[in-house]
Amino acid sequence: MVTPDMFAPSEPRKAPAPAERIAILRDQLNEHAHRYYVLDEPAIPDAEYDRLFQELQALEAQHPELASPDSPTRRVGGKPLDQFASVRHAVPMLSIRTETDTEATGAQNFDVRVRKELGLGEGDPPVEYVAELKFDGLAINLRYEHGVLVQAATRGDGETGEDVTQNIRTIRQIPLRLPKDAPTVLEVRGEVYMRRDHFESLNERQREKIAKGAKGEKTFVNPRNAAAGAVRQLDPAIAAQRPLSFFAYGVGEVTPPEEGGPDFDTHFQLLLTLKSWGFPVAAQTQTAQGASELIAFHEKIGRARDQLPYDIDGVVYKVNSLALQKKLGFVTREPRWAVAHKYPAQEQMTTVLAIDVQVGRTGKLTPVAKLAPVFVGGVTVTNATLHNEDEARRKDVRIGDTVIVRRAGDVIPEVVSVLLDKRTQDAPQFTMPRTCPVCGSDAVREEGEADYRCTGGLFCGAQRKEAILHYAHRRAVEIEGLGDKLVEQLVDAGVVRTLPDLYRLGLTALAGLERMADKSANNLLEALEKSKQTTLPRFLFGLGIRHVGEATAKELARHFGSLDAVMDATEEQLLEVNDVGPIVAQSIRTFFDQPHNREVVEQLRACGVSWPEGEPAARAPQPLSGKTFVITGTLPTLSRDEAKDRVEAAGGKVAGSVSKKTDFVVAGTEAGSKLTKAQELGVAIIDEAALLAMLADPAD
């Protein structure tokens, strides 16, 4: 029933009191921070989080009487300290024993000791353990009283640490307030660490500061040192700028069960409860039955170690039952029920004996530090890459330097940092040579490139195998049957040193090669003879000139008509060619300016390699000029190579991937991700029939 008072204006809703609104904002921000930093499941955009945070800051500034140490705004840090106060741990932060055997047998050794201490025989069931990661960071004790973080302290000597509460509050993975079911007193122990990507970003910012002349700035040696330096930073505002993370792995003092505290039976149950209270616990943590599962865990984590986003130096095994832990007790202040099982060290200190420059298969010049032998990452290392001149200069590695070398898994060892305080005063700065150390050709560095490259591609011994394989490719001059293994044999045996040597091969030389029968040798000689008749575009592509692909080679042949015209063209003349820009023009000119390369070309001609030449073709309008195509799937009548040739002959370009710059995707049967990408970007999709129609009449 409708009544008149139903249409009366309602009273305006009252805004919540400041205390109520502040409480709501703190709860919301804590929940969103937990979802973002711990669960990696953000529920709101960053801008919305910032708006809520700024609202809370403003309210707290207006009502200082409502300030609270558990407020999210306290994460930004307080006043700088003169020094850290000492904190005596209620429960000592003891270290655990390290198993020096880094092999799988180290896990077996621990299990044998535990079973012996517990008096277990061969017929008794396996002991249940918890297997965890051993983080390479800084141990921290977090003390909560009535659910609020009141103190954070370093391990120190185990009995006494340093009060680093202001800095620890800046770590967003650490809750400032706990749920109501948390005990009255709770000390959570864990590791503060820095992710590898955050470490690289931090060092990049440090390098920028140093480049701008900032005083007292430095780069950090490794993530652990960077994390420790941030935690022990006297100015919490600076600590707040250092990206730190946290994992929980145990407890110190806890309100006992008889006073309402938690009553855990196992260590794993304890960890799950910490996770429910908002603490991050490593996802890899698991229970393990006996030595066999500890060994499997050690091997599994060892394989995954290099893919983790943070550094670890081993794993930790703990007896799961807290009753058995109590029974096992301690020896010389180390628990009998736990052990750290390490992996081989990934970083070690050594000396740079020399800096050599190696030339890769594609001509890339790489500076390599020759080191005093050092055992790191499970192997003896004597070489470490410096990557390129810029990297060597940035790290400022010099002969005679004492350096930190890192080797992770199968990654090539590299110099992480230089210990400048150990450098001799007369150590010269490294400079990349301007000629190839193998063949003497010019070494050039193109604009925008980090690497120097040897320009003697056809002559350089270091590039010999790659040059031959490229020349013999089916899209180049094509020498059927000349593959990787055969090229390796020919070069390693000294039978072939440059491309013309291929055409000087005879049955006698080939017969001396492993697994080379008469028939195979004759087939290769026939293929070599057949390859002498080629085309100018194929020959140009086969020379392996940097940046000159099949399409560019075809454009060069069309434009100039003859090889000599290409070799003698100036950069300005080369720039007149369709599809040739400044970098490509410079690369072509540099290649033919090397006498070694010209000599190889002339020798190939003398061996009978030839192609039709003529006057430059008149440049009639081409139907597909300026259009970019991607070909995917199986076409009804054309192979992909045939379709590509026809598109390029009509002036179009064929790309290997779909982008916004793609004009058409030619899709056949079983087209996969490229077709999906085209649909997402709204690129025109056509079939073979439509392509053939465009080639016949582009207006269609």
Axis-axis angle for helices 223-231, 196-211 (nearest 10): 80
Phi, psi of 656 (to 5 degrees): -90, -15
- ∠ at Cα 334 (330, 335), nearest 5°? 50
* Beta-carbon contacts of residue 639 (< 8 Å; ≥ 6 apart): none
Side chain identity, residue 600 = V
Side chain identity, residue 346 = Q
The dihedral over CA atoms of 601, 607, 608, 614, expressed in degrees to the nearest 10, equals 20
Coil, strand or helix: which one is 439? coil
DSSP character for 6? G
Q: Tokens 């991937």 belong to which residue? A: 657
DSSP character for 345? P
Residue 693: CB atoms within 10 Å: 14
Both tokens of 161, joined, read 């640490």
Euclidean distance between CA atoms 500 and 458, whole angstroms = 10
Question: 357 near 367, Cβ under 8 Å?
Answer: yes
Closest Cα partner for 602 from 669, 543, 516, 533? 543
Q: Which of the following is catalytic: 14, 134, 530, 674?
A: 134
Both tokens of 59, joined, read 């309210």
Both tokens of 569, joined, read 């063209």
Closest Cα partner for 373 from 383, 363, 360? 383
Q: How far does CA 46 lie from the centroid of its chain?
A: 25
**Which of 284-313 are b and which e, b meaning 16 or more Cβ less than 10 Å from the residue's Cβ?**
ebeebebbebbbebbeebbeebeeeebbbb
Euclidean distance between CA atoms 575 and 579, whole angstroms = 9
Sign of CA dihedral 326, 332, 336, 342: positive
Residue 139's beta-bridge partner residues? 191
Euclidean distance between CA atoms 557 and 567, whole angstroms = 11
Burial class (CB in 10 A: 0-12, 13-18, 19+), 489: middle
Coil, strand or helix: which one is 250? strand
- ∠ at Cα 605 (600, 608), nearest 5°? 130
Residue 191: CB atoms within 10 Å: 22
Question: Among this protein's residues, is 134 annotated catalytic?
Answer: yes
- Element (H or E) spanning 145, and its range? strand 138-145
Question: 249 near 191, Cβ under 8 Å?
Answer: yes
Question: How far, CA to CA in Å, does 478 sit from each of 208, 418, 482, 509, 610?
Answer: 50, 49, 9, 21, 13
Question: 97 near 338, Cβ under 8 Å?
Answer: yes
DSSP character for 412? P
DSSP character for 214? -
Q: What's the residue count for the chain? A: 700
| Alpha helices (H) along 480-581 | 484-492, 507-511, 518-531, 536-542, 550-560, 563-568, 571-574
Coil, strand or helix: which one is 370? strand
Both tokens of 14, joined, read 């009252």
The dihedral over CA atoms of 276, 277, 282, 285, expressed in degrees to the nearest 10, equals -50
Question: 628 near 652, Cβ under 8 Å?
Answer: yes
Catalytic residue numbers read 134
